Structure 1
């Protein structure tokens, strides 16, 4: 039986659908990818997540795992008679799990390339309206000189004589259960199963070179801070003919000096004078879509909010626009002239020299009643 619960590793139930398993894998793979993750033991966790998905993402392997506790039903065999040092009737593979061997994999099998992440900074308006742009991604690709073989042109990699091309070495180990085999990656060929005598001078025998690619990106209108764009097939190239990974562009939006955004809605403060608020007026309010006239009713109080329908950010999924909410801020006049001070004193006297909370059913009176339980 496997000593790891693959469902628990991916954080899904045993009844999870294939799409749910795939979604959980992609989320965790991005979280623990060694190239971008700052999590502790990210590389080990990334391997666990990948191993779990390789089993649960395959219907046959998942069925075997659910029934036998392993993706390979041959590993669930009984305690049959021991054969040679490399043949334990399926029991040796179970011991491999406990002694660090793991499942044998073909070192030359196609493997998907790594996903890449790119952080892009946008101005406030760029996020509102979107744009087409180019980004430059550093990545590895197959060496064009040796066509990815790692060998000097005119030569070829040779089969590793130590592991006979398997990429793994069998190490015998005596245990209380008998003699078992522990499989390890061949350190002579680094698990590739091949040896390169004459290395390619361009890539130094790696078969891959670092390069920088230009990629066209469409930023959709309405994208918000922290959201990401998936560009399929623009990650690192696959290995041994495997498919490429994906590119994830994470958006960071610069704050604006006048606007604030919450979802599809935009908020702002509009300063007005005391007389505009008291007598009423029509003012122009800036929006991301241009200037809009807003009627300020007479007696408008400081903090009053008005809604401009449809003047917010477009929904990134194309579901209309949000609104713009305009909060009125009454500006107290400063540096008054003598005449202005005289008129304000006259206004104060006409008002009966009463405090604001005694003149009418004001906000202050409502607060008092709330405290008194009225």
Structure 2
């Protein structure tokens, strides 16, 4: 019977139309769906028809009036591709990309690479340019990625004749089932390098130590990755390089801690300064950038902190815009917590003065006051919902 009629397609139908028709019929007549003998026979016929029309050479032979198999069409022992049955039910090639449709390319994209870079908090906050050393695969300069010795080229595989895969046939209740597997002789490439390059051994790439310059933008945080496009591993066969990712790890600072784009620090002041008030001049985070280099006039290396009279321990002062620059603009704040220091040792004169102060303030025998512990965020939310 005419394979075009069996599949219900026109003689000028393209591959997509033929595959679509086959899938529809295969679902309808597969023995797992219709186990009766008539459906099984019908399934063999449409599978055989699809094998002819899906193969350009066999289809051309049939169109010329020949027999692609050297026997009557619809014979019981007709072979068909098991991968096409899987296509009908799962919509893709069985066995993945390896059981496929032709040889796999030698030239492929390289893998991405990842390295760790340790930076200080100031460098992460305000940006820095660093030189890094990487060890990756680079293009072989001897063969320029081809993998062959000078004057030679890959030759077609004699086992698979350049197809990159070979057919294995076995009999089953469906007839002859043909599966395609990568050619072991050429590893699925379809060609063989008979005279490989001595420097890269036929891979088209070699290992190399390189020094790169990486610009770390202002505002990066611990775990941020900076991408260097096409600076990773060169692919097999001299394929395009992957990307290099530089993962930032920020060292702990002795004074400042970071929360988002805000900086936090604590300053300790004497009890007398907290009571009377004062102004302190303190170093900024920017001061770290000029500690071991020439001073830069455009950086504010100090800031003034006003301690108001009567400041209590634990008071926070917020200095707007003195935190860490954001990756997308803006800048966080600097939050300074004030810790009031009570003297632990007094000489007789100092002790006498404090006793006189206590007498003047009526604090010689204070009773003290009990207060409820400050509520957390969830406690305040609960009170808000309860109307307190």
CA deviations on 1:293-336 (whole Å, 9 max, x unpaired) are: 1111111111100011111111122x221110000111222332
Measure how far apart 1:190 and its partner are.
2.2
Aligned to 1:138: 135
- Quickly say closer, same or farther: Cα 1:352–1:133, change in 2 above 3 A: closer
Q: Which residue does the alignment assign to 1:40?
A: none
Q: In the alignment, what sits opposite 2:5?
A: none
Output one character per residue of 1:204-251: Cα deviation in whole Å (capped at 9) or x when no partner: 222221112332211111111111112222222345575432222211
Structure 1 segment 10-159 matched on structure 2, within 5 A: 76=23, 78-79=25-26, 80-82=46-48, 83=51, 87-88=80-81, 91-92=84-85, 94=87, 97-98=93-94, 102-104=99-101, 106-108=103-105, 110-159=107-156
Contact 2:204 2:236 in 1 (8 A): no
Which structure has the larger Rg?
2
TM-score (norm 1): 0.70
> What's the offset of the Cα at 1:196?
2.2
Aligned-pair CA distance for 1:144: 1.5
Question: Does residue 306 of the first structure (1) align with residue 317 of the second (2)?
Answer: yes
**Are residues 259 and 142 of structure 1, via their aligned partners in 2, closer, same or farther at CA, if it must alter by over 3 Å?**
same
**Partners of 1:123 and 1:138 in 2: CA distance:** 24
Q: How does 1:1-374 map to 2 (within 5 A)?
A: 76=23, 78-79=25-26, 80-82=46-48, 83=51, 87-88=80-81, 91-92=84-85, 94=87, 97-98=93-94, 102-104=99-101, 106-108=103-105, 110-239=107-236, 242-289=239-286, 290-317=301-328, 319-350=329-360, 351-355=362-366, 357-358=368-369, 364-365=370-371, 367=373
Cα distance in 2, alignment partners of residues 74 and 339 from structure 1:
106
Counterpart CA distance in 1 for 2:302 and 2:137 is 49
> The residue matched to 1:81 in structure 2 has which SS?
helix
More displaced stretch, 232-241 vs 299-308: 232-241
Aligned length: 298
Structure 1: which 5+ runs fail to align?
1-66, 359-363
Secondary structure (helix, strand or coil) at the match of 2:47 reads: coil
CA RMSD of aligned residues (A): 3.3
Comparing 174-183 and 258-267, the one that deviates more:
174-183
Displacement over 6 Å in runs of 4+: 368-371
Shift of 1:337: 1.9
Measure the CA separation in 2 of the matches of 1:105 and 1:208. Answer: 24
> Aligned partners of 1:81 and 1:75: how far apart in 2?
8
- For the residues of structure 1 that align with 2:308 and 2:160, how far apart are their CA atoms? 86
Distance 1:89 1:124, change over 3 A: closer
